[in-house]
Structure 1
Amino acid sequence: MTPPHPTAPIFVRRSSTCPFDPAEELTRLRAREPVTRITLSTGASAWMVTRYTDVRQVISDQARFSSEAAIDGPIPPPMPQGGFPPPRPGFFSTYGPREHARVRRILNAEFSARRMREFRPRVETVVDEELDAIDRLGPPADLVADFALAVPSRLFFELLGIPEVDRSGLLPYVGTLLDFTAAPQDQAVAFGELDGYMRGFVDECHRAPGRGLIGRTIASHGAELSDAEIAGIAAQLLLAGYATTSGTIALGVLLLLRHPDQAAALRDGSADPQRAVEELLRHLSVVAFGKVFTAAGDTVVGGKEVKAGEYVLCQLPSANRDSDLSPGLDRFDITREPPPPHLAFGHGVRHCLGAELARMELRIGIPRLLRRFPGLRLAVPFDGLRFTPMNAAYSVESLPVSW
């Protein structure tokens, strides 16, 4: 197997023997020193938290753990003299509690259970159309490009209301912004292009709102939000909206191919798709960390004193394998009873806004893929696959399959 990334820092590193597992050293730290000092790739110091209870504490507490560090990207530099600049308009994940709640209240209806039920037929149609295309072209196929990326990105662009003609041009900018290895100047250009497009799109939606989320938000809440804020909301939703689902589909299919008995149970309906998806989310944990948080004041995490202004990084793959939740969580088992809780979508006020959309895509997409191609198999040696730990969502670069 090609090493996932030889220079990946500890907080995104995966096992040297199994690409689905966190690095062995993270398991050791969770047992011996669950809150430990590390140095980020920017040179800044941070506390890394690896135990489920401590990670949930940090993620859930907006008052004590601020999201402002995310203003400078997922891996912030040392705290600038005088503190961080104000949040970019619309990037509500970096807002303080009151402003964050204000934007979440506006957006909650767009991701409600009722809205997701209404969207379900469209999810089914898009999944089937992409499977038809794969079938029509015949083997081999790249399940990353042809399915794992195609379905979630297409659905999320539709949800926002982005015209189809513009979508392929936006994908490279999103990819650059989600890539931790991209040069800062390239990311700055990509952000400028994405921001410029979204501002123009908001202008268009004022003239013709359409049926997408952005148009509906302008029609219903245009008086409460500036155009710059709506454009920022659109950009943040796009950046957060499909990469994690794409990574979970790609790695989830690969994991199921490595466990043919569990794939067969999901294919023939003897396994519960809902439970299977929760196990995939927990076991894979494609987001190595949700954000780097900043301690708003002196506090204690896992028995360690954390000073005001210090960074706190939550290690989600490690937290979701914590044996304090249940024994044997390093083992993949879609029939696990009872299903253990997990933090793949965050927790509390920082729970992922699009979690139910992602779950629906996974519950529909993976079983239909397995049923459509019962002979699905890798078309290349497993050891030749390349993985992407230095990305906002862990995945595999390509997944050649045959059937």
Structure 2
Amino acid sequence: MERRSFLRGAVIGTSAAAFGGSLWQSAAVAAPAQPGAGPYGALGAADANGIQLPAGFTSRVIARSGQTVTGTSYAWHNAPDGGACFADGTGWIYVSNSEINPSGGASAVKFNSSGTVTDAYRILSGTRQNCAGGKTPWNTWLSCEEVSLGYVYETNPWGGTATRRDAMGRFKHEAAAADPVRQAIYLTEDETDGCFYRFLPTTWGNLSSGTLQVFKAGTATSGTFTWQNVPDPDGSPTTTRNQVSGAKRFNGGEGCYYANDTVWFTTKGDNRVWQVNLAAGTYELAYDDSLVSGGGAPLTGVDNITGTSSGDLFVAEDGGNMEICVITPDDIVAPFLRITGQSGSEITGPAFSPDGTRLYFSSQRGTSGSSSGGITYEVTGPFRA
């Protein structure tokens, strides 16, 4: 494996915080990320919200499923899942999916420049089990249905019309990540024998038409890869993952994140974080809990993933110890926060505010263990720039 090396950089377009240019130094060879001391120090005692955080960080509850969001007249949706933040003048918007079936959809919370909630509202309705998704460089939210022959819906964080994007394929969609350099959208598939895809729009910024391709590689955990067109993106009668010979299989695709010529995605079935160097045409493991040395793995139940301009990856757990863990540019993995008293839940939707000082996420089932018990949080503190 080749160690990843990040350079700090600016945001590419409006898509995501940028990671650095020399991602694969040929002289450095190392295993995937290993446990160590995290950049923020040890977790403290649980706060009033039941969250253990490093020194200098604080949490607050933003919304609870079925309850009116403070300062608004809108009742928050059940089972909050994937999310993203969007700049809104001097404030910002946090968008969150609803992973229930039927109904599903997505909602948004609007904040002013001081972080006060000023509005909350529905942005997508009438869909099924909207799990993860992704933000586009043109400031729309791609909300993905995690059901067989599911669709991707392009939604407006400010409200209004949502559009089903049939050309992006019908399969058990999970997450999406936009790459403005290659003008591609990467897509994960939540099947035990799922695939990894990219969608190439006919016109960048317009997802109404384009080409769906699948990732082809050998059975090893590192190597080279190619892309091949999926002949029948609607997945019927043959599922998309079974149309191309040699398509690489991944065990339960989950979160997906792009920055500076690299895309990371997670697989929950084997607790791995995969790293794809798009410029070099190579892939490897950034993390694998079965390859952790010297004791228990700090990150299990690998699920949603996001990142920061410092090069840190933040990975949420579906179960595990109910933690969000950080993977640093020097391949250290450590807990960043832990939610206590909610073992029947999972952490979903991690996303940073545009200025990088606030992290939003949800506990999908909260203390009740039910989809009606979801809680959406904000953590504020000295995140690395």
Greater percentage in strand: 2
TM-score, with length taken from structure 2: 0.28
TM-score, with length taken from structure 1: 0.27
Greater percentage in helix: 1
Bigger RCO of structures 1 and 2 (CA < 8 A, at least 6 apart): 1
